[in-house]
Amino acid sequence: MTIQPFVKDGKVMENSTGYRQVISTLTAIASQVSKQKFYKIPIADYMPVLVGKSGYSLDILNWRTFSDGEDFDTGIIGNAGNKNKIQEVDATLDSVSQIVYPWAKGISYTIFQVEQAALAGNFFSLIEAKEVSRKTNWDLGIQKKAFFGYGDSKGLLNQAGATTNTTTITKRLNGMTAAELNSFVGAILGVYRTNCNYTAYPTHFVIPETDWNGLGQFPDATYPLKSRLAILEETFRVMTMNPNFKILPLAYCDKANFDETNNIYLLYNSDPTSLKFDIPLDYQMSTTASINGFQWANVAWGSFAPLALLRPKELMYFTNTAT
């Protein structure tokens, strides 16, 4: 039996993507379709995500208030001299603006595409594959913008207003000796509290995934009582008085995925009054329609506003160049 190759533009295509694949009568077609996979994470575990607020607005204005007044002692009054004068306090305002970026993408298909895909059997749906591809495009894009921002708008990993510390974490946590790990645990919370003037405790510690993957080992193999991760989690939860404190891995924190020079660690307060990522319009689709009975199309759209850092002192970066 002669198998006819797939010829396109006068060239033989030995392994082309598309519907037409060379098979023989001895070829069995698997009932499962292998789909492309991507790095996906639930961004709401890492930061407050506000969905469905502000609709079709061009931007979001976030007000901040500041106390303005002399110290407490100036409010003490008496009968002598100017002690009977009532002092006043005031409050000042400023704002942090978020640009809202609209997004839209379409898909289309023709009778030929649908019918040719149908000839391949009931193993996949061309229309479904196109829809899944577009939704994946949205999900991955929103994920990346949440951490890196877009244009002049920044994400969780590159806020100019946050403090960067280069001395507290000088090597990977999974490579520290027991003494080094003990010293780190005893120092990092104090560094954070000093940075925010003792006004907040952190709720999240986000670390490079390559470091996280080694935290299952014990700091001292002679006394394998608790893993490094267990020690860190227990310490943070006790010292912050927060049983829900999270330590999370993030591949974007590895220097190969960050700036190719630094690994970055984040310690911060994940609270919508401190920082937030907005999705004013979540992913939605129009009805599929045709104007000629031969081609069909629809559009999906949404919008996002990169991270607003409302309290810069409550987000802190720690970097090193460890391999």
**In contact, 244 and 255? CB cutoff 8 Å:** no
pLDDT in the model for residue 95: 77
Average pLDDT over residues 48-70: 84
Confidence at residue 2, expressed as pLDDT on a 0 to 100 scale: 45
Please indicate, yes or no, if residue 17 is contained in any of the structural domains: no
CA distance 125 to 118: 8
| Least confident window among 27-31, 151-155, 275-279 | 27-31
Based on the number of CB atoms within 10 Å of its own CB, is 148 exposed (0-12), middle (13-18) or buried (19 or more)? middle
The domain spanning residue 125 has which CATH number? 3.30.2320.10
Say what percent of the chain tops pLDDT 70.
Answer: 85
Instruction: Judge whether 21 lies within some domain.
Output: no
Q: What's the domain count of the chain? A: 1
From the centroid of its chain, how far is CA 78?
56
Answer whether residue 42 is part of any domain.
no
In this predicted model, what pLDDT tens digit does every residue of 172-231 receive, in sequence order? 999 999 999 999 999 999 999 999 999 999 999 999 999 999 999 988 766 678 899 999
In a domain, 239, yes or no: yes
Copy the structure tokens of residue 5.
């190759």
Domain that holds residue 258: 49-67+91-323
Is 36 domain-assigned? Answer: no
pLDDT at residue 238, rounded to an integer: 97
Report the alpha-carbon distance of residue 250 to residue 262 in Å, rounded.
14
Residue 31 has pLDDT above 70, yes or no: no
Q: Which of 289, 285, 246, 252 is nearest to 269 (CA)?
A: 246
Is the residue at 297 inside a domain? Answer: yes
For residue 6, what pLDDT is reported?
47
pLDDT top residue among 290 and 79? 290
Give the pLDDT band (50/70/90) at residue 73. Answer: confident
- pLDDT digit string (tens) for 223-253? 678 899 999 999 999 999 999 999 999 999 9
Domain for residue 149, yes or no? yes
Q: What is the pTM of this model?
A: 0.84
> 18-27, 106-115, 140-149: which range is least confident on average?
18-27
Residue 15 lies in a domain: no
CA–CA distances in Å: residue 244 to residues 120, 141, 203, 222, 230: 50, 28, 8, 30, 14
